[in-house]
Amino acid sequence: MNRDKAIKKTEGDVVRGERTRDRQVYSPNVDIMENKDGLVLKADMPGVGIKDIDIQYEDGLLTLHAKVEPRQDDSNTSYLLREYGVGDFYRSFRVGEGVEVDQIRAELKDGVMTLHLPKAEALKPRKIAVRAG
């Protein structure tokens, strides 16, 4: 599979969406690997729960969006040091024709979302039998 045609980042690292809430939006760090069956995308999304993830595929665009709620009420908290930011995660990728989009599956474990993007059968390597002539 030609990696360039399978999945592409759009407009640099991320496609910015319309922000409808006054929240910080982070672009999750992502690793994309290829194996014989397809592509595997791993995205770091600490603090995200399964019900807070929205994965959409439309017109070749795969979009990851996840919400993280604050861990405490800021109005009742006196911080001595504050380094951990809370906000939404958002990232989009252009997915090529070599992926079976109806078979994409996702799982979340320990703050890492894993997306499995299976290759189309026509693009999988196949063994060709040789006959005696």
Residue 116 sits in a domain whose CATH number is 2.60.40.790
- Determine how many CB atoms are found less than 10 A away from the CB of residue 61: 14
pLDDT along the chain (133 residues), means of 10: 48 48 84 91 93 91 90 83 86 86 92 93 73 83
Amino acid (1-letter code) at residue 102? D
Helix or strand (DSSP H, E) at 10: none
Domains contained in the chain, number: 1
Do residues 6 and 34 make contact, with C-beta atoms less than 8 angstroms apart? yes
Query: Global pTM?
Result: 0.71
129 found inside a domain: no
CA distance 108 to 126: 32
CA distance 36 to 101: 17
